[in-house]
Chain A
Amino acid sequence: MRRFPVWSWIWFIIGVLYFFIPLIATVEFSLRMIKDTYSFEAYRVAFQDPQFFRSFGYSLLWATLTIVISLLLVVPTAYWVQLRLPKVRPYVEFVTLMPFVVPAVVLTFGLIRLYGRPPLVLTTTPAALIAGYVVLSLPYMYRSVDSGLRAVDIRTLTEAAQSLGASWGTILKDVVFPNLRVALLSGIFLTFAIVMGEFTFAALLQWPAFGPYMEEIGAMRAYTPQAVSVMSFLITWGSIMLIQWLGRGARGAQVQVGGAR
C-alpha cells in the first residue's frame, strides 16, 4: 500500500495557486471600476474607445498577413526537405532556432538599422514588421508542420499519388494538405495568439497594434487595462487550448522553443 503523497500534493497546490491567483486577480480588478461594487463598467469604457477597435483590427491584419506568409514559406520548405533534400534539414532547423538566439528587441534593432535607410527602405512599410512576426512564428510553424509531415509518412503518400498519375497540384491539394490539417491549424493558432498580443516589434517599429495599445492605456488609466488584458488572455488561452484539443491524439507532449517575449 502506497502512502499518501503529501509533498506531491503540496507542490501541485502551490503550482495551481501560482497559475490562478494572477488570473483571478486580473478579473477581479477589472470588475472594480465602480467603487464598492462589481460591475462591467471597465469593459464598457474599453469598448467605447475607438482606438481599441482600430488597434485590434490592425493586429488582426498583421496576424493574417503573418500567417499567410509564414505558411507559404514553411509548408513547401518542410515538404521539400522531407521529400527531396533531407540533407538540408539541419540548416532549416538551425534557421528556425535563430529567433531564440536573436531576441525580438535585438532583431528590431538590426532591422531598423539595416532597412531604415537607403538602399532598401522597409521601415516605412509594414514589411519589416511582418518579417519580424514571421521570424517569430518560424519555430512554431516549422515544428508543427514538420512533425505533421513525419507523422503520416508523406514520402510514401506522395509516391503513391505520383504512381497513380496525380499532378503536383493534385498531390498538394488532395494528399498533403488534408493530412496536415491538424498540424497547420496548430501552427496557425499559435502564430495568431503570439501576434495578437505582441508588443516589441509593433512598439519599436511604431505601427498600431493591440500590444502597444494595451501598454499605452496601462500608463494612462486604471481598471480598463485589466479589462483589455482579460480579453487578451481569452484570445491567447482560447487559441492554445484549441491547439491542445486538436493535437490530443498525438503522442508525447510537444515542447516549443520559441523566442523570448
Chain B
Amino acid sequence: MAVERTPRADAGSRQDQGDAPRARPPRKSRSWAWVGVAPFFLFALLFLVFPSLSIFVRSFEGPGGTWTFQNILDLFQKSDIRNAYKLSLQISVATALGGALFGFLLAYAVTIGGLPKAVRNFMLTFSGVASNFAGVPLAFAFIATMGNAGLVTRLIESATGIDIHAGGFTIYSFWGLSIVYMYFQFPLMVLIMAPALDGLRREWKEACENLGGSTLDYWRHVALPILAPTLLGTSILLFGNAFGAYATAYAFTGSFLNLVPIVIGAQIQGDVLYNPGLGNAMALGMIVIMSLVMVIYMWSQRRAARWLR
C-alpha cells in the first residue's frame, strides 16, 4: 500500500486508518469550536490590539481633540525627536552588525570550525542564558566592569597607568551602551546561526571541490548565498532587539542618552514633550519600525527554509 508520509504529521489531515472502521462518526457541527480559543483572542484584543489602536488613533489628535497630521510631521521635523530616532537607529544598527558578525564567527568556530564537541555544547548553553539576560542587572554588571571603579578599569590602570575615564571619556555613551547591548546580541546570533551552519551539507562542499572550486569559491557561491536569508533575518532581529530595549538603557545611562524608548518612558512619567499627541506619534513610529522588522524577518525565514531545515 502506497501511503504518502510527510515528515511532520500534518495536524489538519486525517490520520491513515488502514482498514479499521471509524470509532465514531465525525461530528457534524463544529461551529462552537472557536469558543475554545476565544479567551486567548479576547485577551490579545484587550491588552495588545486596543492599546496599539489607541496609540494609532491618538497620534492624530491635536490640542483640544482636533484631528491633525502635525504630530506625524513633527516626528521628522522636530530636531530633538529626529535626533532620538537617529540615535536609536544608530545604536541598533551598530549592535546588530557587531553582534551578527561576532556571533557568526563564534557559531562558525563551534560548529564547523573544528572545535571539540564539549566546547560547542558549552557555548550553546551559555548563549541560551546570555541572550535572555538583559535589564537592570546587566547594566550594573557593566558598571562594575568598566565604570569608574570597575574591574577592567582598574586592571588597565594598574597595567598601563592609564585611567580610561581621564580626559572626559565616559562609558555612559553611545559606545559604552553598545558594548552592553552586545552582551545579549551576539549570543542570539550564535543560537540561530549554529543550526543553520550545521545544515550546510558536506556534499555541497564536495560538489564544489569536484568542479574545481576553491574554499573561497565555496563560500562565495554556495555557502553564503544559502546562509544569506538567515544572516539577514537574524541581523534584523538583533536590530529590533536593541531598538526596543528600555530597561537596560535606562539603568545604564539614566536619561542621559536620548533614545526613543527613553523619551517615551519620560513621556509616560510626565508630559515632557508638552504634547500628548506627539508622545503617541513617537510610540507609533516605534510600532511601525518594529512591524517592518518583523515582516523582513518572516520573509527571510521563509527564504531560509528552502535550503536549510
Residues of A within 8 A of B (CB): 2, 5, 7-9, 11-12, 14-15, 18-19, 21-26, 28-30, 72-74, 76-77, 80-82, 84-89, 91-92, 95, 97-114, 131-132, 134-135, 150, 153, 155-156, 159, 162-163, 190, 193-194, 197-200, 203-204, 211, 214-215, 218-219, 222, 225-226, 229, 232-233, 236-237, 240-241, 244, 252-253, 255-261
Partner of B125, one of A22, A131, A197, A244: A244
Report the nearest B residue to A10, measured CB to CB: B109
Q: Is the CB of B237 within 8 A of A104?
A: no
Q: Is the CB of B115 within 8 A of A9?
A: yes
Q: What 1/0 mask marks residues of chain B from 249 to 275 whose CB sits below 8 Å from any chain A CB? A: 011001000000100110111000000
CA distance A132 to B268 in the complex (A): 15
A to B CB contacts below 8 Å, 10 in the list: A8-B115, A19-B130, A21-B151, A80-B37, A95-B40, A102-B290, A103-B246, A109-B279, A114-B51, A200-B246
Contacts of A103 in B (CB 8 A): 243-246, 261, 286, 290
Report the nearest B residue to A80, measured CB to CB: B36
CA distance A232 to B138 in the complex (A): 10
Q: Is the CB of B47 within 8 A of A204?
A: no
CA distance A26 to B143 in the complex (A): 8
Give 5 closest A-B pairs by Cβ, nearest first: A110-B51, A103-B244, A260-B244, A8-B113, A29-B144
Q: Is the CB of A218 within 8 A of B242?
A: no
Contacts of B250 in A (CB 8 A): 199, 203, 215
Q: Is the CB of B15 within 8 A of A156?
A: yes
Q: Is the CB of B140 within 8 A of A253?
A: no
Partner of B244, one of A73, A81, A104, A155: A104
Contacts of B213 in A (CB 8 A): none
Q: Is the CB of A100 within 8 A of B290?
A: yes
Q: Is the CB of B183 within 8 A of A25?
A: no
Contacts of B140 in A (CB 8 A): 26, 214, 218, 225-226, 229
| Besides A21-B151, A80-B36, A215-B250, 4 new A-B residue pairs in contact (Cβ under 8 A), listed by A number | A21-B145, A26-B145, A114-B54, A226-B141
Residues of B within 8 A of A (CB): 8-9, 11-12, 15, 23-24, 30, 33-34, 36-37, 39-41, 43-44, 46-48, 50-52, 54-55, 58, 102, 105-106, 108-110, 113-115, 119, 123-126, 128-130, 132-145, 149-152, 182-183, 186, 188, 190-192, 194-195, 237, 240-248, 250-251, 254, 261, 264-265, 267-269, 276, 279-280, 283, 286-287, 290-291, 293-294
Report the nearest A residue to B187, measured CB to CB: A19
Contacts of A25 in B (CB 8 A): 141, 144-145, 150-152
Contacts of A102 in B (CB 8 A): 48, 51-52, 287, 290
Q: Is the CB of B290 within 8 A of A22?
A: no
CA distance A98 to B43 in the complex (A): 13
For B11, B24, B188, the residue with the greatest tally of chain A CB atoms inside 10 Å of its CB is B11
CA distance A259 to B294 in the complex (A): 12
Partner of A95, one of B34, B41, B194: B41
Q: Is the CB of A204 within 8 A of B36?
A: no
For A14, A21, A72, A194, the residue with the greatest tally of chain B CB atoms inside 10 Å of its CB is A21
Report the nearest A residue to B9, measured CB to CB: A153
Report the nearest A residue to B43, measured CB to CB: A73
Report the nearest B residue to A131, measured CB to CB: B47
CA distance A87 to B186 in the complex (A): 35
When A105-B264, A218-B136 are in contact, do A12 and B123 touch as well, CB less than 8 Å? Answer: yes
Contacts of A72 in B (CB 8 A): 39
When A102-B52, A253-B195, A260-B243 are in contact, do A12 and B119 touch as well, CB less than 8 Å? Answer: yes
Q: Is the CB of B237 within 8 A of A257?
A: yes
Contacts of A77 in B (CB 8 A): 36-37, 39-40
Q: Is the CB of B132 within 8 A of A105?
A: no
When A84-B30, A110-B54 are in contact, do A22 and B144 touch as well, CB less than 8 Å? Answer: yes
CA distance A255 to B196 in the complex (A): 12
Report the nearest B residue to A29, measured CB to CB: B144
Q: Is the CB of B113 within 8 A of A109?
A: no
When A200-B247, A240-B132 are in contact, do A260 and B268 touch as well, CB less than 8 Å? Answer: no
Partner of A8, one of B54, B108, B128: B108
Report the nearest B residue to A9, measured CB to CB: B115
Report the nearest B residue to A232, measured CB to CB: B137
When A29-B151, A155-B11, A260-B245 are in contact, do A84 and B132 touch as well, CB less than 8 Å? Answer: no
When A22-B183, A100-B294, A110-B283 are in contact, do A197 and B37 touch as well, CB less than 8 Å? Answer: no
Q: Is the CB of A240 within 8 A of B134?
A: no
CB distance from A207 to the nearest CB of B (A): 14
When A5-B115, A214-B137, A215-B250 are in contact, do A86 and B11 touch as well, CB less than 8 Å? Answer: yes
Partner of B283, one of A15, A81, A106: A106
CB distance from A37 to the nearest CB of B (A): 15
Contacts of B115 in A (CB 8 A): 5, 8-9, 12
